[in-house]
A and B are shown apart, each in its own frame.
Chain A
Amino acid sequence: MAKRIMTVDDASIIRLMIKDILVECGGYDVIAECSSGREAVDKYKELRPDLVTMDIVMPEMDGIQALEEILKFDPDAKVVMVTAIDQRESLMKAIRLGATDYIVKPFEADRVMAAVQKAFGVA
């Protein structure tokens, strides 16, 4: 059965790029797209996706806050952070909070797939 993925980014082009990579790889369905952290938290509670790709810099609620909210609701949630800020502090905070992995923009398809497969325990 295909894994159900939710992509979160305020830039629709990034959501499209991640969706294309996942669809091309096969075995993944992008069941929802969100453009803010707040929307992501609400959608997560509604849909319970198998994995979330989460941007950090977003309006309304940033990705770190959304990660915290989602993990509060579901401690087993799989969340891969996607960020253009290659700064150790933000990324370490996300990992400490419970993010599964992170991807730095601009990204290669291989890196996205590696992070997603790692989250599902695929070697």
Chain B
Amino acid sequence: MEAKKVHRALQLVASLSIDKASQVFSKMIKVGAKIELEKVYVADISRATEELMVTDDFDVIGAFVDLVGDMPFKFLFYVAADDSLALTDLILHREPGVTKKFDLYVSSTVQELGNVLASAVTNVFASDFQIQMKPTPPQVVHDFASTVFGEYIMEAAADQNEILMIESMFKVVRMDIKCRMFLLPKGDTQKTLSGIIGAA
């Protein structure tokens, strides 16, 4: 029963965070964008990795961000490497297609998107739940999605077999750019949240 409550609470947090992130993302790229909450679920770590190897078996650029504070999380944002070129143009308010190769600005675009989106999540925790967190500087990675995901969950896998995943899909209306964002509770975060829900 308590686990269900925690999952419902996290689903609410995820939904509010993603609404906020959606507004931020649209403002940043200056075209209509929507972020959809796809799933909030508890996954077996090895099974989640296997699934991603099938669905997202492509080259991505991602940003890891540690959210530190009252309830630590690990945050991951990634976009297909080819789409990151168009995102760079959109952020620089240029016609998509101008950026043709990976350079410092492409990597920096993903880095900054990771920073802004992770901050949107911490803003929801702070403003709606009085839970104080702040992001650490993003770490940018360029690899296959499954490898990036594997690195993302590596630390959690040492402590537990199951993780709670919040999965979302970003759709930039005119460009149909798909991105994913994950939030992974670290350490005692689920227990702490359970305590907060229980006391409510």
Among B27, B92, B123, B136, contact of A57 (Cβ-Cβ < 8 Å): B136
How many Å lie between the Cα of A11 and that of B28 in the bound state?
A: 14
How many Å lie between the Cα of A17 and that of B28 in the bound state?
A: 12
Q: In whole Å, how far is B21's beta carbon from the nearest beta carbon of chain A? A: 11
A side interface size, CB within 8 A: 19
| In the complex, per-residue mask of A1-17: 1 if CB is within 8 Å of any chain B CB, else 0 | 00000000011111011
Among A59, A83, A90, A106, contact of B27 (Cβ-Cβ < 8 Å): A106
- Main SS of chain A's interface residues? loop
Q: Which residues of A contact B24 (CB under 8 A)?
A: 106
> With contacts A57-B115, A106-B27 known, is A11 near B135, CB below 8 A?
no
Q: Which residues of A contact B126 (CB under 8 A)?
A: 87
CB-contacts of B50-100 with A (<8 A): 88, 91-92
A16 B137 Cβ-Cβ under 8 A: no
Q: In whole Å, how far is A17's beta carbon from the nearest beta carbon of chain B? A: 7
Q: Which residues of A contact B123 (CB under 8 A)?
A: 85-87
Interface flag for B158 (CB, 8 Å) = no
Interface residues on B, range: 20 to 34
> With contacts A84-B115, A106-B27 known, is A12 near B108, CB below 8 A?
yes
Q: Which residues of A contact B109 (CB under 8 A)?
A: 13
Q: Which residues of A contact B15 (CB under 8 A)?
A: none
How many Å lie between the Cα of A94 and that of B46 in the bound state?
A: 44
Q: In whole Å, how far is A35's beta carbon from the nearest beta carbon of chain B? A: 10
How many Å lie between the Cα of A89 and that of B91 in the bound state?
A: 28
Q: Which residues of A contact B122 (CB under 8 A)?
A: 85, 87
How many Å lie between the Cα of A105 and that of B135 in the bound state?
A: 14
Q: In whole Å, how far is B80's beta carbon from the nearest beta carbon of chain A? A: 19
Residues of B near any A CB (own CB < 8 A): 24, 27-28, 88, 91-92, 104-105, 108-109, 111-112, 115-116, 119-120, 122-123, 126, 132, 134-137
Residues of A near any B CB (own CB < 8 A): 10-14, 16-17, 57-59, 83-87, 89-90, 105-106
> 16 new A-B pairs (CB below 8 Å) besides A57-B119, A84-B119, A105-B115?
A12-B108, A13-B91, A13-B105, A14-B112, A16-B92, A16-B105, A57-B134, A57-B136, A83-B119, A86-B119, A90-B134, A105-B28, A105-B112, A106-B24, A106-B27, A106-B28
